[in-house]
Structure 1
Amino acid sequence: MGETTVTRLERMVGSPLSTDVGLEIGPRDAPLLHKPHHNVRYVDYAPTEIIKASQFDPSVKIENIVDVDIVWGDVRLRSTVGEPVDYVVASHVIEHVPDLIGWLIEIAEVLRPGGTLGLAIPDKRFTFDALRQVSTLSQAVEAYLLRSKQPSLRQVFDTAALGVAIDLAEAWEGRLDPSARRSEVLSRLQPALQLATSLHESPRYNDAHCWVFTPASFLDLVEEFATLGLFPFMIADLEPTRRGALEFLVRLERPGSASDDAIFMSIEMARSRLASAPGVEAGREEAEKAEAERGKVEREHRTALEQARLEIHHLKTQIAALEASTSWKITAPLRKMGRVLRRKS
């Protein structure tokens, strides 16, 4: 295992010992944890054969996909895992799960007290989700109450319509202009509708980015989950998106007997780390400046248009008043005669 992978893994879950028991969710062809060096079992939504057969990403090497040990399908995860584990790791998985709240709760159920969940999460500002809105509490609550097992039609449509390829450097430099991608988005609407219609008429699993985050929006969302009593974790660490990267890392810990206050305090501490990380989110300032400049231009344009509308309205009012005046009516024959003479000349 290379140094880069080790460092990233350590940032996500610490340093798993060979005696620690863990799970890796959705490893596909690039697991972070390797047997037999780690006592790990691989978890996915379907058996290995189906995972291999359903791959559409050309970057995934089918022959390297690891064997799935635990299928997390319609049954609760704890019923298939057995004894509690020391850690769970999931890299670029959380955004795909249909029921975000239920997923987190079920993982907490299989962790021992003090156990950790390590997450690598795409930062939407630097991925193909850049044009999409961040996910909201109401969307997560709806999926939780419905016990969603597959991406919703809205999520599939949103991914298909707005999931456009972007240049990472351009995004970091604040040069990503959503308005410049408008025609591309419009060209994707019809195929997106056709896909959603097909899934509505013949329901089946269609992968999508169900959830869209920035580090800040993730913290806001889990704070709202905690307020509802639906976030069974403390935030042990949050590493903001590093310059030139497209993901942020989060380490969650299942508390033993921690109070709700401790959970909220851990969220605030993570928010403070996010706000005080110099240069970690470099590019954000440039992006905000560019956005502010675009907003200024748009406001000036709207102001000019509104001023033009007011002037046109004023002229129309003056013309209407003039046409209704007595002098206008008296001089009407003279204006008519003038038009006749001009045509004859």
Structure 2
Amino acid sequence: MDRNEIIRSMINTSGLGLEIGASYNPVMPKRDGYNIRIADYAGHDYLRKLHNLSSDHIEDVDYVTNGGPVSKAVEDENCFDYIVASHMIEHCVDFIGFLKDCETLLKPDGALVLVVPDKRNCFDVFQSLSSVGEMLDIHQKLPRKHASGKLFDHLAYAGGRNGHIVWPHGCPVELGFVHSLPEALAAFQLAEASDEYRDCHSWRFTPSSFRLIVNDLHEIGSVRLKEKGFREGNGPEFYVSLSFDGQGVPVSRIDLAKNIIREISEIIVN
């Protein structure tokens, strides 16, 4: 199966769905007949102009969030059979807040499907893994933008292989930095001087580290969603479905923690 087929296999595609941040690469295109609504940070006219693409590539946006909670833009609760967010959650300022927002929008038997970048096989390769403690701190403080230091790290430690910022698992091509320290410092200073939102990967995971985080957030009562399904990809992403009635991760916490070490050790450094 290709990636979209994997994602669709994790949900009931006959229901009413919401795709968050579909932009120019929707997983569930309206043109293919899916009963789907689209939420994005800006309207379709702006996105089409930004990416220089037509409505054939960027479909109409139903809910404009302006960077705020999706549920506020939707103005409803418990209304979607499924939510899809591809390469989106790593950009969220408040990881826990995003999951709780999706909980508000999902029907009791609904599912949230996340496509998550695997830090081993993308430009996050040199960055440290995210933690529950870090997420709890952010959720308590409710900032509206990423910390300036995260903007610095996003550029200073971005890695690549021969000019590529994503690559297949086990790729042996030599690693290098993508940006310079002066570029990273400039991004930090710009963020410090303005309240404007500036985008970056705020959260970084391997498959097992993500599963452990979701497990622990549920166990401590921060979120109600639990793992319902998991599929590992063959490169820069993996796939997770979460639901209220999920069985949770069928692996112990300690085994997940050990798996994280094994996963990191699989990175080929040349």
TM over 0.5: yes
Matches within 5 A, 1:1-345: 4=2, 6-11=4-9, 13-17=10-14, 20-35=15-30, 37-52=33-48, 62-63=53-54, 64-73=57-66, 76-81=69-74, 82-83=76-77, 84-166=79-161, 172-173=170-171, 175=172, 181=176, 184=177, 188-242=180-234, 245-255=235-245, 266-269=248-251, 287=266
Shift of 1:93: 0.8
| More deviation, 146-155/125-134 | 146-155
Give the length in aligned residue pairs.
260
Gaps of 5+ in 2: none
User: Distance between the aligned counterparts of 1:169 and 1:76, measured in 2?
Assistant: 32
User: Distance between the aligned counterparts of 2:180 and 2:36, measured in 1?
Assistant: 41
User: Distance between the aligned counterparts of 2:208 and 2:263, measured in 1?
Assistant: 12
Residue 24 and residue 269 in structure 1: after superposition, are their counterparts in 2 closer, same or farther (change >3 A)? same
Residue 227 and residue 199 in structure 1: after superposition, are their counterparts in 2 closer, same or farther (change >3 A)? same
- Greater share of strand: 2
- Higher Rg: 1
% identical equivalent positions:
27
Shift of 1:199: 1.5
Shift of 1:72: 2.2
Q: CA contact under 8 A between 2:113 and 2:240: conserved in structure 1?
A: yes
Q: CA contact under 8 A between 1:28 and 1:65: conserved in structure 2?
A: yes
Residue 270 and residue 117 in structure 1: after superposition, are their counterparts in 2 closer, same or farther (change >3 A)? farther
Q: CA contact under 8 A between 2:126 and 2:158: conserved in structure 1?
A: yes
Shift of 1:75: 5.2
RCO (CA 8 Å, sep 6+): is it higher in 1 or 2?
2
Question: Alignment RMSD, CA only?
Answer: 3.2
User: Distance between the aligned counterparts of 2:107 and 2:8, measured in 1?
Assistant: 19
Q: CA contact under 8 A between 1:238 and 1:274: conserved in structure 2?
A: no
- Which letter maps to 1:62? L
- Which letter maps to 1:45? Y
Q: What's the CA shift string for 1:20-54, capped at 9, x where partnerless?
A: 11100000111111225111110112223443455
Shift of 1:247: 0.7
- Which letter maps to 1:198? L
Shift of 1:216: 1.0
Gaps of 5+ in 1: 56-60, 256-262, 295-345
- Greater share of helix: 1
Residue aligned with 1:267, SS: coil
The two structures have a TM-score, normalised by structure 2, of 0.83
